[in-house]
Structure formats: C-alpha cells, structure tokens
Amino acid sequence: MICNGCYKEVKEGYCLSCRKKLFDKVNVPSILLFDAPKSNNLQFYQEHSKRLSISGVQLKYSLRLENNRLELCENKSQYILKPVPPSKQLEELNDAPENEHLTMQIAEQLFGIETAANGLIHFKDGFPAYITRRFDVQPDGSKYMQEDFAQLTNRTKDTHDESFKYDGSYEEIGLLIKRFVAAAAPALERFFKLVVFNYIVSNGDAHLKNFSLMRIDTGEYKLTPAYDLMSTVIHTPLESDTALDLYKDDADSDFYSTYGYYGRENFMELAGRLRIVEKRAARIIDQFPANQKQIGAFVHRSFLSEEVKEKYISNISDKISRIRQ
C-alpha cells in the first residue's frame, strides 16, 4: 500500500517522514475512532464545526492529539479535518478530500512550494477526509499572529459585500508583500510561483483569504505555508480560471482580448509589475511544462477515482498549453 501522506510504499498508514511532519513521529493510526458526520450524529459534530469554502459549503472540524489518538475538540486545536462536503451543489464530492491532499503534495514535492503538513485519513465507517496540521500553533500551544489579505486590505462583508474576498488582484497582494515582508524579493517569487501553480491546477478559489502573512519569533512577517490548494474546477466546472484578477485591466491585454483567458504574457506582465527579474519569472513558469509528466504520475498514483484522475490531468494539460513558451 502507499503512504496516506506522500504516496511512498508503506506497510500501513503513514511513512516515518510523514508521521514526523504531521504528528511529531507519533504512530497515529490512519483511521479515526469516530464515524463521518451524518444525520444521526450532527449534534455531536455541530459543537466543533466552522464553515470553510470550496464554494462556502465545506465543513471543517478541530482535532487535538491525545494519547496517540486524534480527538475532536473545541479549543487547543492542533489539526483541521475536512470531510466530504455535504452539499449537492458540487460535483465529484467523494473525491474532494483526496483532491486537496494530492494538490498539496504536488505543490510541495514537485515544485518546492512550502505547504501546511497534510495527509488523507479515514473515518471509522470508511469515509475519507483531508487532515492538515495547523502551522499557526506554537509548541507551547500559543498562536503566531496571522493575517490574511482580506484583513490586510480591510475588506469585509460590511465594507464591501458577500463576495469581498474575491474583490482584488494578485498584483495588490504582491505589493502588500513588498510593503510588509522584510525579505520581499524571495517572498514575491514564492508568491508568484503559487499564483501560477493555482492557475495550472485549476484552483479558481485562491482568493484574498487564502494567502496570509504570519509574524515569526524575530518580529518579522513572512508568507505562511500554502494552504487550501485544490483543483476546484473538478467540483465547480463553471467557475472562473482565477479567483482574483492578475492585475488591473488584465482583460484588456492583447492575449486575453484575443483568447479570453490568461496566457504566458499575462503572467510575465504580473511578474514585471512585482519587479521579479524576467529570467527568474520565466524559469518559474517553465517548471510547469517541464514537470507535466511527473504531475500525471502523481495523479495516477493518488487515491482519486479513475474518472477524476482523467479530468485532473486533462485540466492540467489545457492550462500548461496556455503558458508554454
């Protein structure tokens, strides 16, 4: 069998490396002690639930590690658990947990994008869930100060409307990174790679709240590890290619005006506006066509259903053709 974290061959559960990242080497079983949320146990779950979005319908739950077992908790949370979304508005619901897990693993293993530690786990009744370790919790239980870019741009439901987190551009986020992060140049390259990655994997929900800054022990701000990465088009096929504009008036560019979608020149324009060296920006973009076969190998090795594997790979191929030199 393969590891529920990194897809390496293991006898069961998680490999040592994934146990170290997720559970500080504790041998935590890959099956939870409780069933997935259903109509007969919702009262138990509602005490621990918070709303999270693919399209505003996915639930998340808080977990804490107690005596080598993961338990639901109301405070001192160490992990976030995302089961299969309960909504009838989404397609391919049962593949949602593995979609996020796979996309996060591709980001880290193939493209060197720092991500929140994550894996796949199963409920007692066999249903899958995505699990991720909270990176804002320190060893003593206290939390790092963290602000997402909706907060940093002062966008809320009151100041804008229900769609406030989709009101902005990636250029705007980049300029704020330049303003708040001391080591801005490498941070901007990390951010740019993540924007291109989200486009390639068809993550149309990478909005203002899905990028954050965190204040570390030195008092400086840094980009948080990437989180909430998935191929959202699998579940919402009619969504936009990106949650935000790349930059102001990008739809007026020659490429977008001609084809109706973003291409390589649009991402190079974004890089230029963020003062990323042209050769370095081109090198970042070229990583994706260069790794297309490896992405396909990851997808085929994953726990996705065969039908969704084909959709995932097809979407990757389409997006890579748009940004290829």
* pLDDT tens digits, 290-307: 999 999 999 999 999 999
Tell me the pLDDT band of 51, cut-offs 50, 70 and 90: very low
CA separation for the pair 234, 257 (Å, rounded): 26
Question: What pLDDT does 231 receive?
Answer: 98
Report the CATH architecture of 16-133.
Answer: 2-Layer Sandwich (3.30)
Q: How big is the CA angle at 320 (ends 318 and 325), to the nearest 5 degrees?
A: 130
The three-class DSSP label of residue 39 is coil
d(C-alpha 113, C-alpha 193), whole Å: 8
23 residue type, one letter: F
Burial classification of residue 1, based on how many CB atoms lie within 10 Å of its CB (0-12 exposed, 13-18 middle, 19 or more buried): exposed
pLDDT, greater one: 45 or 227: 227
Read off the pLDDT of each residue in 33-58 and give the average, rounded to a whole number. Answer: 65
Q: Does domain 145-323 have CATH number 3.40.50.620?
A: no
Predicted local confidence at residue 125, as pLDDT: 94
Does residue 256 register a pLDDT over 60?
Answer: yes
143: DSSP letter: B
In angstroms and rounded to an integer, the radius of gyration of the C-alpha atoms of the chain is: 19
Place of tokens 């559970």: 23
**Domain ranges within the chain, ordered by starting residue:** 16-133, 145-323
pTM of the entire predicted model: 0.94
Could you tell me which of 222, 235, 4, 181 has the C-alpha nearest to residue 104?
4
Q: Among 51, 53, 48, which residue's Cα sits nearest to residue 64? A: 48
Residue 40, token pair as written in the block? 């007969």
DSSP label at residue 43: H
* CB distance 82 to 58 below 8 Å: yes
pLDDT at 52 over 60: no
Contact 222, 190 (CB under 8 A): no
Q: What pLDDT does residue 88 have? A: 76
pLDDT in tens, 228-243: 999 999 999 999 999 9
Q: What gap in Å lies between CA 158 and CA 161, rounded to an integer? A: 6
- Rounded mean pLDDT, 276-300: 98
pLDDT at 71 over 80: yes
53 pLDDT above the threshold of 60: no
CB 246 within 8 A of CB 267: yes
Token pair for residue 256? 């977008």
Model confidence at 58: pLDDT above 90: no
Higher model confidence: residue 47 or residue 318? 318
When pLDDT is averaged across residues 159-172 and rounded to a whole number, the result is 91
- Given a cut of 90, whether residue 308 has pLDDT beyond it is yes
pLDDT given at position 138: 87
pLDDT in tens, 8-45: 999 999 999 999 999 999 999 999 999 998 767 766 66
